[in-house]
Structures are given as C-alpha cells and as structure tokens.
Structure 1
Amino acid sequence: MKLLDLRLLGEAAAVRLALALTVLLGTLGGIAIVVQAWLLSRAIAQVFLGGQTLAGVQTWLLLFLAVAGLRAGLTWSSELAAHRVADRVKDDLRRRLAAHLLALGPAYVQGERSGELAATLVEGVEALDAYFRQYLPQLALAALVPLSVLLIVFPLDWVSGIVLLLTAPLIPVFMVLIGRAAEALTRRQWTALGRMSAHFLDVLQGLATLKALGRSREQLRSIAAVSERYRRTTMGVLRVTFLSALALEMVATLSTAVVAVQVGLRLLGGHIAFEQALFVLVLAPEFYLPLRLLGVRFHAGMQGVAAARRIWEVLDVEPQAARRAAPVPPAPLPASPLPLVFEDVHLAYDEGARPALKGLSLSLAPGETVALVGPSGAGKSTVAYLLLRFLEPDRGTITAGGRPLAALDPVAWRRQVAWVSQNPALFYGTVADNIRLARPSATPDEVIWAARQARAHEFVSRLPQGYDTLLGERGARLSGGQAQRLALARAFLQDAPLLLLDEATANLDPQVEQSIQEALERLLRGRAALIIAHRLHTIYRADRILVLDGGRVVEEGSHDELLARGGLYRRLVTAYRAEVPA
C-alpha cells in the first residue's frame, strides 16, 4: 500500500495553493507546539528551581496562552482550507464523471449496472473527502512537524534527538504493515457496496414484476444475502482499523516512555539540565502526535484509494467515438435540407465481436420517408445510434449534406434530429418541463401546441395540475401510451429537419394510434424521416422500405414491390399478420 497515490494527488492540481496553505498552516501549528513546550518548561523551571511565584512567571503564562490561542486558530484555518480542497476536488470529479458518461453514451451505460454507476458517482466520490480533507494534509504534517521538532531538539539534547529519530519510523512501519492486510478488505468492501447498490436498484425498478410473479420474498432473501456480505466486509475493515489504532497507540506510548526513561536517568545523573529535560518530556508526546494521527487517518485514505480505483475504471474507458473517429475540428452544419448517406458502413461493438453492421449502405433524401425493417439483431438500432453519433463506424462513411458526420459538431448535429424511441425517457419534473427538453426556450403556448399535435393535450389537461403536474421517476404516473405521446410532443416542439422514429406509435391503443398516425403525417411533410419499424403496418406507406438482415440491406423497395418479390420482407409481413390480425 503506497502512502501517497500520485494520481489522486494530481486531482488537487487545480487547488494546489489551497492544499499548500493547508500544509503551511498545519506546519505553523506544529511549530507553535514547540514554542508552547518551551514556554511551559521555562515557567515551571523558574517556579520550582528559581523560586519564582506565579505572579513572577505571569508573562510566560500569558505568552503560553497566546500561543495556544494562535495554535487553535491555525488548526481551524488549516481544517477550513482542507475542506475547500476536498469540496473542490469532489465537485470537479463529479462533473468530469458525468461529462465522461455522457461522452461514453448509451452503448456503454447499457452494459453497466446503473446502481454501481450511481454508487461510483455518489458514495465513491464522497469517499475522497476524508482522503483530501484529513489524510493528505496529515501525511505532509507527519513529515514536516517531526522534522521541525528534531531540528530544535538536536542542538539542545542530541541524545534525545537520536531516540526520537530512531523511534519515529516505527509508527509508519507498523501502519504500512497493517495497511497491507486492510487494503484487500477495503477493496472488497467497495465492490460489495457497488453490488448492493445495483441489486437494490434492480429490485426497486422491477418491484411490480417481482410482486406479480410472486418472487418478492426471494428477492428479500437475496437482498439480505448481499447486505450480509457487505456487513461482513465492513466489519472486517473495522476490526483491522481498531486493531491498528490500538497497535499504533501502543507504539507511540512505548516510544514516549523510552524518551521519558532515558531523560529521567540522565537527569538523576546530572547529565542534563532540568529545564531542558522538562522541555523534551513535554515535547515528546507532541512529536509523535502527527504520526499517530496519520495512523488514525490512514484507513480513511485507503477508503479513498479503493473508491478511486472504480472512478479510474470509468474515466479510463475511452469513448467509442474517440477510438474510431479521427480527431478533426468541428465543421459548421451544412444548410438544410440534408441528404443523408451511409456508405459501406461496418461496426462491431467490441473488438473481435460479431459485427453488428457489415457493409451497410443506404441513403435518405430530403423530404423522403425510409423505413428499416428486419429480424431481431439485424442492426436497426445500431443504425439509429450511428445516426445520433452515439457510435462511430469502424469502416465506411456517413455523410450529411456531403460532409462527413464525424466532422460535424455532435451537439449541433443532434439538434437537427428529432428522435422518438420505443421506450421514451421521462424525468422527475413537470409535464411541461419534460416536453420542453426538446427546446428549453419554448413558451407555454408552444408547449401546449406541441402537446395538441401529439394528441397529449386532452389527458394532460385532466391531470391534477395540468402541465404543472409533477411526474414520478421515469414517468411512473403515466401509462405507456401517455409517455409515448409526450415523447412525440417533444418531436413536434423540436421541429427538426430530420426525424428518427423508433416505433413511435408503440404502446398506443388502435384509436389513439390512428390519430397519432395522422399527426405524424403532418409532421413528416417536408422532412426526411428514418423509421425503425417493428409493427409493420405502420410503414406500408413509406417511400422506401429497407430490409436489414445480418447487418446489411438485403432488400429495398416499396411495400407492394417487396411483397411481390416473395423474399424476407414478405415472410416478415406474413408472420406479423399471423400474430396481429388486420
């Protein structure tokens, strides 16, 4: 176990002056301890050896109290500066983690457990507080304060100086030896915490399903088992922490006793003056205090290092776009309308994995509606992710208006695409806020207009506070069809030149679906649209239908043309009609 993690130290680069101030104030506080010890020994020597009364040493006592007050002020200021360092580091790290997860995109997040990521963002970052606020400043003080004391003690009493010098390393040596045993326990503790958080979130999100299937009691037992594993690892860490604290306290006490014994024997033998002996005896416990405090805070430092390992794992994942796209400065968007072309596009989600797309080529002209159909795993959703630049192709090019998509600013490009997914995301907030995500500057009248176009206004008006009604997490208070209509309202409000519809009428009853289809036809006028279809009756009137299979286009044409060919499309339609009678 390293005493200093250089990567964590690098996180404090932006606040290095505040960190240096923390150490400086702490060091001055350590020097104040030396001054206090000298003033106290001076006053006591004059009373017992010089025959002075308390009034005669009043000046020394007042100076002692003044230095004590100064020391308290320095300690308070040092802790305040340390708090600011820790808060700034945590805030910066949370921002970086959030921005990095956004850069990694849905493809990465979907492969991770949400609970573990949430634990990393919250508890993991918060665990660094003790590292930067307590452990890191104390590590510097443990080196600087004893060194300052030795520089003062050696000229006065070199024998005591040698004893202090030889016994001081015992505390950090014991600390490191014990720390090695605790390091693995601490790492397991954080792993168990992440798994417990993920498991709790899984159960909460699937609570209705578990109740319906009668499996809620099994999950309670599973939660109890996960919690018990976390309890055992935590108790293991605490046991080592308490044992190490006891061991370090014993080492410090024995070291102080060694100093006291040798000073006492030399004082009896007349080899050291009383005032010097008293000064060393008063100073000895304070000499070991920074080292003892380092031992106490060493485990907090290990907790921070263990939490940081998971943070580095996330931050070290290179965004797929950065791995596969050549770095180019963002180019301005070409003028709308934008013809879109995929040319010989290949993509595999992981190196060596089966390709999701193999030589895909397609085009989308302004004002044209193109539908993508195909069996599960054909690559339809991958095309959507490429279009939104959540992914970048391994080979091949995607152009918009003749310019490579990779050369365009991704944020500006996504404003040109109105995306309605099969499972729309709704967030905790009002109905109006959820619709206004598509265009935050929209007025209330524009929000209502978009809701009317999506046939959402009627049910929204019946909610307790209408558009100001707070929705539950993930739109928990709405039906699937209502959530879908709010997602469609976003598309109307965004008013983008390109539409990406992933079964936009899913979860709707036939009557509502018919009205939405009419609204979609109005929305599609004059816009290019790429429709990913699972319910095939929704795309019969598309200008072109592309049939995907095995990551490439295997058929292309209108609905009637493809039926007449008797290929894969006809088999898909036949199977669909058998499942859902017309």
Structure 2
Amino acid sequence: MKPQPRAGPGDLVALSPRAARSSLAKLIPYAVGVWPLLASALVCILASSLLELSVPWVMGFLLLDTVVKQARLDELPRVVFLLVAIFLGQKGVGFLQDYFQELANQRLVHRLRCDLFHHLQCLPVRFFDRGRTGELTARVTSDIDSVEGFLPTLVDDVVTDAVLLLGTLYFLFRVQPRLTLYVAPTVLVLAFALILFRPRVKRFARRVRAMIGDLAAMASETLAGVRVVKGFLGEDYEVRRFAAQSLQVLRARVGVVTLRSLCYATVDLGVLLGTIIVVSVAAPKVVAGTFSVGALVAYLGYLGKLYGPAKRLSKVNVSIQKTLAAADRIFEVMDLPPEETARVAAAPVLRPAFPAGVSPQSAPGVLFEQVTFSYGGGRPALKDFTLDVAPGEAVALVGRSGAGKTTVVNLLLRFYAPDSGRILLDGVPLDQIPLGELRGQIGLVSQDVFLFSGTIRDNIAYALPTATDEDVVEAARRANAHGFISALPQGYASSAGERGVQLSGGQRQRIAIARAWLRRPRLLILDEATSHLDSESEHYVQEAFDRVAQGRTVFLIAHRLSTLWNADKIVVIENGTIVQAGRHEELLQSAGIYRRLYRLQQRPGPQSRTAEER
C-alpha cells in the first residue's frame, strides 16, 4: 500500500484565525461585486421601512386622537387612503427589493461556487491524496447552499431590521423621551444574549457542517464501491455505519436548536421587561390625562417594532454563525496555495520550454538526476534515482509492486516535487517549465482509465476540446477503437456511462489511448495499461500502443514482461533505486531480478504464484 503523503501545502488543514482573514471579510468582496443590485435593494429597504414606521403614527395620532377622540369623521377618508397607500407602497417596494436581492444573491453564490471549483482544480495532487471526494463534494454543494443565505440575511434581516430599529428609537423619543430612557436599558439584555451565544452557536454549527461532510464522504465511498459491498454481503454493515454517522448529525443539530432556543428565551426576557416598564409608567400618565390614549397606542406600536427587529436580529445571529461556519469550510480550501505556487522552485526564473534547436514536435530527452522522494516522510519511494532517456527512446520500468515505478511518472508529470535532485526535459528543469506547457507535451494512459459520463466523442476530445470530428475519428483509428465505436447504435454519440461502465476494459483503454494521441504528445506514458485485460483485448491495445508511440519518447510500466520485449531500454527498480538496465535479451542473459521475474511469469501453476508472492 502506498504510504500516506505527509502534510504539505496541498493538504486540507484547519486555518487559525491569525493565519487568515475572517470568512466574513472574505465574503465582503463578493458582495461588493454586486453593489449596484445591493444599492437598489437598500433604497427599497429604506422606502419600505419608512412606510412601515408611518402606520403606528397614522393609527395613534390620526385615527384615535383626531377621528375618534375629537369626532372628526371628515378625516376618516384621509386615514383610510393613507393606510391603503401605505399597503400598496409596501407591496410594490417589497417586490422590487426581493427581485434585486435575489438576483444579487444568486450572482454572488454563482461566482463563489465557480471560484471554489476552479481552485479545487488548481490544487496539487498531494491535496487529493488526503481529501475525500464526498467531503469535498459537500463543500461545493451543501456548504455553498448554506452560504446562499448570506446576502438575504445581511440585507433583508440585518439592514432592514437595523433601519427599523433606528427609526423606531427616533419615533419613541419623539412620542415620549423620558419613558424611552427607561426602556432603552432592556436592549442591553438583547446585546448580552448575542454576545453570550454567538461563539457557541458557531462552534456547534461548524461541527454539524463537518459531520455532514463526513456523511457525504461515507455515502459517496459506499456507492462507488457498491459491487464490493454486495459481493461481500456488506449491505447491513454499511447501513449501520451510515445510521451511526447520521445519528451524530442528529444530535449535533439538536444541540444547535437547543442553543438557539436559549438565545430566543433570553431575548424574550428583555421584551417582557420593556413591556412591563412601559405599562407601569405610562398607565398612570394616561389616567392623569398627561398622556393620550392615541399616544400610548402609538408608543406600544413602536415598542413592538423596537423589540421585533431586536428579536429577529438575535435569530439572525444564529443564521449568520451557521453561514460563517459553512464559509469557513469553503475558504479553508480556497486559502490553500494552488499547484503552480504550492512548492516554490529552487530557481524561480523561467526558461523556455523548448531550447534552441528543439522542435515542439520532436520527441524530448528526459534526465533524472539523483532524485529522492518520499510520500510520507518515511522510507523513500525513490532514492538517488538517476536515469537518462534519449529522445524517441522507449523505456520500460519494471519491478515489484511498490518499487517506485509509478512514482517516476508522477514526478515527471509534476504531480509531486522531488525532495532532492532534479528532473530535466530537453535540458530544462521541470520546475522552470509552466505546468500547462509541461503537461501539454505529455499523453497519459493509466491502469485505471477514467471516462466521464458524456459521449465517447466527448471523452476522446477531452484532451483537445477544439478537435474536429475528423480529428476524433483519426485518433480512434490510431487506437484501434474506431471499429467497435462504429458498431455501437449511436456510434461516437453513444454514452460511455459513469466512469465508462458501459464499455469493456479493453474498449476503455483504447479510448484512453485515442484521447492521449489526440493532443499529439511528445512524450507518452503507459502505466500498467494492459494489466487487467484478456489476451485478445491486450493484443488490440498493444497494437494501438505500437502505432501511437512512433516518433515519441515513451515511459512504459507493466507487470507482464512479455509486453516489453521491444522496448529500447528496460529499467529494473527495486526499493526506489535502479538495479538493472538494458534490453530484454541482455537482461535475460545476466542473473538478476528481471530474469527471475520473467521465468516466474513463464512458469504456469500455483508454484509460480507462490514464488511471486514471496
């Protein structure tokens, strides 16, 4: 088993508050990007708040003190007209506010989602060695969905209620300044509730988000390995494991609700105190005739509007903390350095990818100079590895599982960087070649071919999206794939299925070869590409290899040594070092690992398998 990679720039680790700006500060630039829509929504909020604040004034002073108390029925139509106008104005302004707000919100979420996905594509392979696909998917989907409430909460709740709160305080002081001074301290109770519960709510909300990510990872892993689960009768075990994880999510969410209820109860206590103060102080004044009934009704109306926004702001605190917990997980990924800068090159000055006299179409020379590399800081996967590959040479890498063969091509593709030593392509160190230029020169066919769920044509053209239909067909012909593709009911428009499940192993390999050939690579890597194929499929794939490898430098990894007889050079790797090198015939004539492995593969029966296992 390959060792786990050590923590590095690409690993997902929790960021300390001192190491990065707060998630709220990182969300602000996204909000600024939609400022015209937000400004329009704010104008609507101000208009709606003013209309709402005018209702108690109309009801108290115009209706009760003027129409009812003074028997001015001639003023009643004006009161009715004002109430209807206020209602219609609120509905019209509210519609515009919802439209501008939702448009701004969806644009913000779209940009954040795309930025996160783009950054994930730019992270180094080392990051994905440790990250779980399901958990990362949860960050792109459910965490983004949680952040979707950021703008509505900020604009509709925070701004709207803040405007109402300030406007209400103004009218309360206008109606009865001294009484308002008695009520104002109760607002401190609300502020205390926010300060007390905010960190606890955020901590619980973050735990819930992490648990949901674990649950998504578990479901994704189980569904991806459904054949193994069913083959080993693991359905009940997986159901129990999933239920146990889901139960943890349930308990964590109940904890969040409990905290939220305690927070709301504290806020309601402040509301009760304020109401008792108003009733106790204002009732005697009304009886004494120093405070009118209309003024009391207006004051109580404004008091309700004071505590209404205050209560909603306490609930907004819970929503904001849940949003920020999701945002923390998003920016935890986005703060990781991308692949190009994840490892600073020893020589930062870039040199041309193609030195003088080297054509972009010519096969490159490759040189490994005393390269040492380890995945987890333990035993090196490669140790003082030196290999010189001439332009156009086909080099086969041979050795037991875990010897370091795949590590060689991983370093060549710059999926990882060497701990020491260097790798040169046409005399240029790899860390001085931009990743796009480097990988654009390499075609890769791996053991586990990954095909996307689109059409066969789309999968072949993935290497070169601008390719024409003629280019795709030519690539398929080169890879011995055109025959079976044409025989499909929809030809190149046939679906490959998720991960290519609708195709056989040999068919998937030939599509992968066509995909690699389409970009006309200078260097071709074939990593265990025939290890799982039957003899007939292997014949077609091997024939395709020979055709597409012409005129290219080739790195070939295979356990079946019979497929390597025509390689220009066979390199035997043991414990990360080269122990033998030469052509097939030369290595068979000398005692060593290669001859022993070759004879074991030629010897049928269980004795051969036992020897190989030893």
Residue of structure 2 in register with 1:555 after alignment: 580
Aligned pairs, number? 580
The alpha-carbon deviation at position 190 of structure 1 amounts to: 1.7
Give the residue type in structure 2 aligned to 1:347.
F
Contact 1:481 1:506 (8 Å CA) reproduced: no
For residue 345 of structure 1, what is the aligned residue in structure 2?
A: 371
Q: Of the candidates 400, 410, 415, which is equivalent to residue 440 of structure 2?
A: 415
Of residues 577, 581, 591, the one that matches 1:566 is: 591
CA distance in 2, matches of 1:31, 1:554: 84
Show the 5 A alignment for 1:312-391. 312-319=331-338, 321-326=340-345, 328=348, 333-334=353-354, 335-336=359-360, 337=362, 338-349=364-375, 352-391=377-416
Structure-1 residue corresponding to 2:224: 205
CA contact (8 A) 1:324 1:393 kept: no
> Counterpart of 1:43?
62
Sequence identity, in percent? 32
Spell out, residue by residue over 1:366-387, the C-alpha distance to the aligned partner (whole angstroms, 9 max, x if none).
2111122223333322222222
Please tell me the residue identity of whatever aligns with 1:544: K
CA contact (8 A) 1:429 1:472 kept: yes
1:56 maps to a residue whose letter is E
Q: Which amino acid aligns with 1:66?
A: A
SS of the residue aligned with 1:500? strand
Alignment of 1:390-469 (within 5 A): 390-469=415-494
Tell me, in whole angstroms, the C-alpha distance in 2 between the residues paired with 1:426 and 1:156: 72
Is contact 1:448-1:457 (8 Å) kept?
A: yes
What TM-score do you get using the length of structure 1 for normalisation? Answer: 0.90
CA deviation string 1:512-540 (max 9, x = no partner): 32232223222221111111223222222
Name the aligned partner's letter for residue 14 of structure 1: G
Question: Within 1, Cα distance between the matches of 2:297 and 2:235?
Answer: 69
Q: Counterpart in 1 of 2:325?
A: 306
- Which residues of 2 match residues 493-504 of structure 1 at below 5 A? 493-504=518-529
Q: Deviation digits for residues 243-270 of structure 1, max 9, x if unmatched? A: 5445534543553453344333322233
Distance 1:528 1:349 in 2: 27
| Cα separation, partners in 2 of 1:269 and 1:467, compared to 1, 3 Å | same
Bigger drift between 318-327 and 502-511 goes to: 318-327
Match of 1:520 in 2: 545
Question: Using a 3 Å threshold, how does the CA distance of structure 1 residues 68 and 331 change in structure 2: closer, same or farther?
Answer: farther
Residue in 1 that maps onto 2:12 = none
Structure 1 partner of 2:11: none
- Name the CA distance, whole Å, in 2 between partners of 1:5 and 1:137: 17
The one-letter code matched in structure 1 to 2:516 is A
Output the CA distance in 2 between the equivalents of 1:568 and 1:10.
61
Aligned match for 1:196, one of 215, 231, 238: 215
Q: Of residues 238, 254, 269 in structure 2, which corresponds to 1:235?
A: 254
CA distance in 2: counterparts of 1:437 and 1:163, whole angstroms: 71
Matched, 1:66 2:91: no
Instruction: Return 5+ residue gaps in structure 1 as ranges.
Output: none
8 Å CA contact retained: 1:360, 1:551: yes
AA paired with 1:116?
A: E
1:163-213 deviation digits (Å, cap 9, x = unpaired): 342122322422443444443432232222112111111111111111111
Change (3 A) 1:444 1:234: same
Residue 160 to residue 575, structure 1, CA distance change in 2 (3 Å) = farther
**In the superposition, relative to structure 1, how do residues 95 and 357 fare at CA in structure 2: closer, same or farther (>3 Å)?**
farther
Q: Using a 3 Å threshold, how does the CA distance of structure 1 residues 459 and 79 change in structure 2: closer, same or farther?
A: same
Instruction: Tell me which residue corresponds to 2:170.
Output: 151
Shift of 1:134: 1.8
Q: Are the equivalent residues in 2 in contact too, given 1:42–1:60 (CA < 8 A)?
A: no
> Deviations 1:211-239 (Å, cap 9, x if unpaired)?
11122222222222222222332333334
Letter in 1 for 2:211: A
Label 1:313 to 1:4 Cα distance change in 2 as closer, same or farther (>3 A). Answer: closer
**1:526 and 1:181 mapped to 2: Cα distance?**
65
AA of the residue aligned to 2:393: E
How far does residue 46 in structure 1 lie from its aligned partner after superposition? 0.6
The CA deviation at 1:278 is: 3.3
Q: 4+ residue stretches of structure 1 with deviation over 6 A?
A: 579-582
Alignment of 1:161-176 (within 5 A): 161-176=180-195
1:200-279 maps to which residues of 2 (within 5 A)? 200-242=219-261, 244-245=263-264, 247-249=266-268, 251-279=270-298
CA contact (8 A) 1:46 1:57 kept: no
